[in-house]
Amino acid sequence: MRIKQEQSKVFDASRLKVGIVVSRFNASVTDELLASALLKLKEYGVKDGNIKMVRVSGSVEIPFVLQKLAKSKKYHCLVALGAVIKGQTDHYNYVCKMVQEGVLRVMLDYSIPVGFGVLTTDTLAQAAARTDFGAHAAAAALELAKLEI
């Protein structure tokens, strides 16, 4: 059973700059994650010219590029998109750990919101059924970017 996430309240994010890093590995899934994220950014009014998208070969490379984008201080938030699908070896566990820890490190080390849209599933079908997580990751990043603490 999937628990439905409460919808974020849409606000004007037209002035925000967003960096997106998306993996090419499992492109049938990651292309859909990206499409859902871009639709969500448009819904919030983020201008095309304020979106920087970088493609990397696999999910392990996502944190490195997120770090480069964060260091530039040009973005209000970042979004990580990828799909790690379990195989028959332990490689899956190492990739998941590296990506999750790397994304968290960028977020905390650079004090920049990062929407986590990296799927970690057992099957391709499970991943394909969750491509709307790209939109959730984008909305979460925008929501954190607007917080005034």
Digit-coded pLDDT (tens) for 51-110: 999 999 999 999 999 999 999 999 999 999 999 999 888 889 999 999 999 999 999 999
Sequence letter at residue 15: R
Q: Is 2 exposed, middle or buried (0-12, 13-18, 19+ CB in 10 A)?
A: exposed
Instruction: Tell me: pLDDT of 148 over 80.
Output: no
Q: What is the pTM of this model?
A: 0.93
- The pLDDT assigned to 149 comes to 56
Q: Average of pLDDT values for 21-39?
A: 98
- CATH for 18-47+57-146 (3.40.50.300, 3.40.50.2300, 3.20.20.450, 3.40.50.960): 3.40.50.960
Cα 144 to Cα 87: distance, rounded to the nearest angstrom: 34
- The full set of domain ranges for the chain reads 18-47+57-146
What CA–CA distance (Å, rounded) separates 65 from 49?
A: 19
Q: Which residues are known catalytic residues?
A: 91
Q: What is the pLDDT at residue 7? A: 65
Task: Give the span between the Cα atoms of 60 and 96, in whole angstroms.
Answer: 8
The sign of the CA dihedral 14, 134, 118, 101 is positive
What local confidence, expressed as pLDDT, does residue 15 receive?
A: 96
Q: What is the mean pLDDT of the segment spanning 25-52? A: 98
